[in-house]
Each structure stands twice: as C-alpha cells, then as structure tokens.
A and B are shown apart, each in its own frame.
Chain A
C-alpha cells in the first residue's frame, strides 16, 4: 500500500509540472497566435514581411504599462481591476491599430509597386525607429506590470495542485474570442470579402470596385490592434517589458504564421500554439537556454519539409 501511495504522489508531481508547462505553453501560444494573425493578414494582402509588427506588440505592452501608472500604479489602483483591464486593451488596441495604419500610410503605401526588396528594407527601418524611439522616450530599462499586485495569485483556480492564474484564463479567453471574431469578420463581412479579394489579386479587386487603400488600411488596423492587445496581455501574464521584446516575439510569431501556413487564420492559431508549447516544454524539460534555438530549429525543419507551411497552399506557378 505504502509503495503504491508513494508512486502515485510522484506521478502527480510529474503531472503537475506537465500541466503547468502545458498551461504556460497555451498562454504563450495564444499571444504568439495573436501576433501571427496580424503578420499573416498583412502578408496576405501586401505580400510584405512586416518586420515592424513585433515592435507594434512592444508598443502595445508599453501603452498598457502606462495605463496602469495613469490609474495610480499596480499597488494603488484607483479604478476596479476589470475596468482597468478592459481600458488597457481598448486603448492599446486602438492606439497600436492607429500606429499601424499610420505606418502603412507613411511608409508602405508609396512602395506598393516598388521592387520586392524595398518595402522589406523599409520594414526593417521602421522596426529600428520604433525600438529606438521607445528607448529614447522611456529609457532602456526593464519595467514590470506587477500584475500579481492587483490580480493576486490567490485568485487562481486550484485543481489538484495545479494552479491556473486568472490572468492566464483572461489571456486564453480574450485570444479565443478575438480569433473567432476575426474569422467571422473575414468570412462573413464585406470587409472580409474585400480583404480576400485584395489578397488574391490586388489589381483585379481594384477593377471590380474594391477600395484597395481602405481595405489595406483596415487590415493593418486590425492586425496591429491584435498585436497591441497581445502586448498588454503579455505584460499582464509575464510582467517584464522593455523596448527590445518586440523583435524576438515578432520573429517567433512569424514562425507561428509560417508553420501554420502563411495567410491562413486557423493555421496561425495552431502555429502559435505549437510554438508556444514547444517553447514551454523545451524550457522546462530540456533547457531554458536552448529553448529559442529549439524553436528556430523547428521553424527551419518545418520550412524545409513543407515550404508553404502545414496549412498553406503551395503557390501555383504557370509557365
């Protein structure tokens, strides 16, 4: 009997670690998926690798941080927590969305017919400017949302020794809602139709009366807004933010988009989850040092086996 009991305890401890890792992976994955969606949408309509997208996520995280400061700071909030969270997400969504539209208008629109490399280089330039502008304005040190101060771990759900923090639930719920909202938007609305039309052939869409400029601007808005919200949620869930978090997050989100097949919405979701899980499992079971390397290796392997991603269609080339 005693031996059996010890065995079951050991088993649960392992299970706990496993489930905890799983939850972290899902939360990270949802965030990657949100960023990946924006990446994927922009790539869909413009065939542009928007390297600045990850930095928009970083800007979103900063907006959320300053919203907390505005309302008295993490330890002395002057408004109810749910209201604060909604406020942060709305402001970050709108602000980053607007920023995305401004970037498109200012930097990418003049280059619609330029050689492919031009907007790519511009995107790198924008990424530089965003990162260093934030550095200039707010300094390079790491800031902390300190979310546990107003959303205590005590409010977690405890199941059989596994703790699921309320913030983690918020992240998953908000992400899922946004993704389904986006899917409905793309599949059901006129905007969605225009977007798909522009993605498949911009000139033809224009001739058929689709307002291409507005569709592209709208795409940037939605994609950037999702990155902004993802920034806020990552601040809540992981705390630390700085001006350089965007590049790597953007890179991994793009991995997610590519693994899932670029241009595909469910692909981006699944890709995000895969990357998130991969990262959390490799850092808790193999080595946190190597987790980035493992994710990179995963990407490279996927791309080599299926260059168009798991869910993507191979491009048609007619001769």
Chain B
C-alpha cells in the first residue's frame, strides 16, 4: 500500500507548490520564467554595475564584491557534488585549501625555504592556475575513488575527516615549506610577464569573469548526459547503474569537477589575500559554503550564486554596527510579515510590541532610573528611535545582556511550540526581548553575532524551506 500513500503525499506536495504565494512564490515563478541566457546577462550586468558604480569609492566594497563572487564560485563547485550528484562531501574545504596552498607554494619563497628575501618560485598565473587545478583535480580523483566504498552518512563522516586532516596536515607537516601555523604570506599576485593584478578590484573583475564562464559551462553540463547521470545517481544509484550509467565513474567525476572548481577559487583567494593560513580552511568556512548552497537551493546554479550573495553580504553587513541593525530589523520585519497572517493580526502584533515596549520602559524607568540609563548599541537614527523603547541599564552590563540572550532563546523555543492565538500573544514579549538583547548585548560582539546568525539562518532555512530560495522541492522515497 505504500505506493498509494506516496502518491497522495506527492500530490499534496505538488498542490502546496502551486499555492506558493507571496515573495517566495514570486521568486520561484521568476526563477522558472527567466531563461538561461538572460539570466547570465543579468548576473553579468549586475556585477558590471556594482563594479563600476560602487567600487571606486571604497576598498571595502571591492572586498565584499570579491568575497561574494568567491563564495558563489565555491557554492557552484559544491553544488556539483552535493546538489547534483547527491554525495554529501564534508571535505570540500580541503580542495579549496589545497588550491590555495598550491598557488601559494608556486608564488612565494616557500620552496626556497630561506629568509624572505631570497629563493622560491614565482610562476606566472598561466602556470599556477593549471598546476593548482590539475593537482587538486587529481586529489579529487583519489578521494573520489576512496569514497566509492562509502555511501550516505559514512561518506559524510570520512570526508569530514579528510577536511579536518587537511587543516591538521598543513599546520604540522613540513613547517619549513608550508609555514605551519604562520601560514605562507607575501605571495605574488596573478601576473603574466610584467602585467599583474594589483588591486582587489582587479581580482573582483577576474572572479566575475570566472563566475560567468563557470555558470555557462555548468549549465551546459547540467543539461548534458553527464548532468543527467549525476542527477539520476542522486535519485537512485542502483537504478542509475542498471540504466547504463557507470555510477562509480560518474561519482568520481563529480568529485573531480567539484575539486577543480574549488581549486580555482582557492587560487583566487590566495592571490587576493596574498597569504594563506590553515585557519582559512576550517570547518567554519565549510559551513559557510554549505550555508550559501543550502540557502540558495541545492541543485540550482542560480541558487548557488544567490546563496553566495546573501550569505556573504549578510556577513559583511554584520560587521558594521549600522548595517547590522538594518539587517537585524529587516529580518525581524520579514519574519513577522511572513509568519503573522492576516494583516490585521500583523498590525495588532506590531502595535502591541510598540505599546509593550514603551510601557515596560516607562514602568522600569519609574522604578529605577539607572536601569534605563544606558544607550542602545545601534548607532545612527536607530539609537534615537529606540532610546525610549529598549531597556539598557547604565553602562550596559554584560550580565544583563547575557540573561536577556538566554531569555530570548528560551522564549523563541517556547513561541515555536505554541499555536494559534497564544503564539500571537507570546510573540510580543519575545520580539521585545530580542530587540533589547540585540541593543544591549549582540551589537557589542559583532563577530560572534555573525556566527550565531549564520547558525540561525541555517536552522530557519531548513525548517521553513529545506529546498532553499531557488531550489525545487524534492521527494525522497527510501
């Protein structure tokens, strides 16, 4: 009887998709309407406009732009292995790292193993990139061959160890050449003869061109026999094998292609940063790349690129106080608008939050003036608007903020468990506590907050839309 159940479920999931309204539905419809070449041109135009208009003014913008494109490329590579072939590769970071280290070896004094002023090899970019790509491609091939014995979660674990082992290895093995914990620095940038990319903006343009070419190639690959074989493999490896697809070969191919893309990204990363450290290739970076892919939608080229944009830009925003406030309140508004329906409920909740806040502020102020004497952590006009809303004690003590943080987590967990009108009521103090916590604590440690937000984004995405922004909903029958 199972098939009938599956059918029913599937039919309903189809309905759910049809019903998708609001901005997510709009996004999905846009995604299905806009054709392939227009999409590529769109990305190109956007990159061009960004590069031309904004970049001239501020070095940070160029860096952000480069990071966005870098992560988009990394997510594209990961998409081959995870999104298409369905191989859960948690060692992807090793390919990125290996690409960067190979570039570094051939662009520094590392091989000279001498004081910084002498020795070493500094090959031109037309040599370093091919060396890195071929080297890492072979590494991907080997790891892919090894991975053939494993499937599913076991593959995930072993590759996770491969990734960890890479960081351990470059940290400990041959410190004279690989630099150990000090890494390799003072790398020469991309150069051919006397021409050399000297600025972050230059690397931005280089990365954009690589991204566009990659997007085109990957799209053509996706719609070819190889792409179909990968996707068939993901759905049902045994059926794929019986339908003339050499599953082992195709798996190794996915690993190799993913590795090559990661290696490309690695060379650009190393050249732009002009240094490499083993800490650049930690599990944290891996999770960031996964966040890009998963948020954008595994299996979709446009999704991977969009994910790269969203995650990197959020990270960047979180590092500046005023921008992070925009991000925080923006997300708050989006969540409220998306989750609280209909509109009159939304209006009531927002009004209640405002009233609740000013009310609590007034009461606490009447009891103790010191308890509200602190100023909100946000700068700019937010600070002014929120001065009489949030409760921040004089000097904004950490203990207070920490308590708020714990309270906020508990309340969020509580709200999720509640249903109906109770949830609506509970949302009001929760949002208020979240705002207070943001102003009193989270803005003080932007680095940590950024990490927490990435974690939260992953959890929320998985709960609300496991297929990501541009992914298609999948069925899995075990």
Residues of A bordering B, CB below 8 Å: 43, 47, 49, 102, 105-107, 110-111, 114-122, 124-129, 131-133, 135-137, 247, 251, 254-255, 258, 289-290, 292-293, 296-297, 299-300, 303-304, 307, 317, 319
Contact = CB atoms under 8 A, between A and B. Distances in A.
B413 A251 contact: no
Interface in B148-168: 149-154, 156-158, 160-162, 164-165, 168
Given A135-B448, A254-B157, A303-B158, A115 B466 contact: yes
Contact of A117 (B150, B298, B441): B298
A118 B462 contact: yes
Interface string B362-374: 0000000000000
20 contacts: A106-B416, A115-B476, A126-B455, A128-B287, A131-B451, A135-B451, A136-B405, A136-B452, A137-B402, A251-B160, A251-B164, A254-B157, A290-B172, A296-B164, A296-B168, A300-B146, A300-B161, A307-B149, A317-B238, A319-B238
B165 A293 contact: yes
B88 interface: yes
A18 B110 CA distance: 39
A105 B150 CA distance: 31
A247 B157 contact: no
Given A49-B156, A251-B160, A307-B154, 11 more contacts: A105-B417, A107-B459, A115-B474, A116-B152, A116-B476, A121-B294, A124-B455, A255-B161, A300-B158, A307-B149, A317-B238
A196 B455 CA distance: 32
A133 B157 contact: no
Interface string B454-478: 1111110111001000000010100
B169 interface: yes
Interface of B: 82, 88, 146, 149-154, 156-158, 160-162, 164-165, 168-169, 172, 238, 283-284, 287, 290, 294, 298, 402, 405-406, 409, 413, 416-417, 441-442, 445, 448-449, 451-452, 454-459, 461-463, 466, 474, 476
Given A121-B290, A293-B172, A133 B452 contact: yes
B454 A120 contact: no
Contact of B149 (A47, A107, A115, A304): A304
Nearest to A298: B161
Contacts of B409: 133
A111 B462 contact: yes
Contacts of A319: 238
A110 B466 CA distance: 11
B146 A304 contact: yes
A241 B296 CA distance: 36
B462 A122 contact: yes
B467 to A, nearest CB: 8
A121 B462 contact: yes
A122 B459 contact: yes
B161 A128 contact: no
Contacts of A106: 413, 416-417
A119 B165 CA distance: 25
Contacts of B284: 128
A120 B459 CA distance: 10
A307 B442 CA distance: 44
3 residue pairs, one from A and one from B, having the closest CB atoms: A128-B455, A125-B458, A129-B455
A136 B448 CA distance: 7
B37 to A, nearest CB: 30
A128 B454 contact: yes
Nearest to B159: A300
Contacts of A107: 459, 463
Given A111-B466, A303-B154, A251 B88 contact: no
A125 to B, nearest CB: 3
Contacts of A115: 466, 474, 476
B448 A125 contact: no
A106 B413 CA distance: 6
B238 A122 contact: no
A136 B450 CA distance: 11
Nearest to B293: A121
Contacts of A251: 160-161, 164
Contacts of A258: 154, 157
A124 B287 contact: yes
B199 to A, nearest CB: 33
A122 B458 contact: yes
Question: Which residue of A105, A118, A124, A307 has the most chain B CB atoms within 10 A of its CB atom?
Answer: A124
A14 B344 CA distance: 79
Contacts of A47: 153
Given A107-B459, A129-B452, A132-B455, A296 B476 contact: no
A43 B157 CA distance: 13
A104 to B, nearest CB: 11
A137 to B, nearest CB: 5
B88 A120 contact: yes
A106 to B, nearest CB: 5
Contacts of A297: 165
Given A136-B405, A290-B172, A299 B455 contact: no
Nearest to B412: A106
A290 B406 CA distance: 39
B405 A125 contact: no
Contacts of B169: 293
Given A110-B463, A115-B466, A289 B458 contact: no
B459 A125 contact: yes
Contacts of B160: 251
Nearest to A116: B476
B168 A125 contact: no
Given A107-B463, A290-B172, A128 B458 contact: yes
A220 to B, nearest CB: 14
A242 to B, nearest CB: 14
Contacts of A133: 405, 409, 452
A118 B463 CA distance: 8
Contact of A120 (B156, B457, B461, B476): B156
Nearest to A254: B157
Given A119-B462, A258-B154, A300-B158, A132 B298 contact: no
Contacts of B157: 49, 254-255, 258, 299, 303
Contacts of B455: 124-129, 132
A132 B172 CA distance: 27
B126 to A, nearest CB: 35
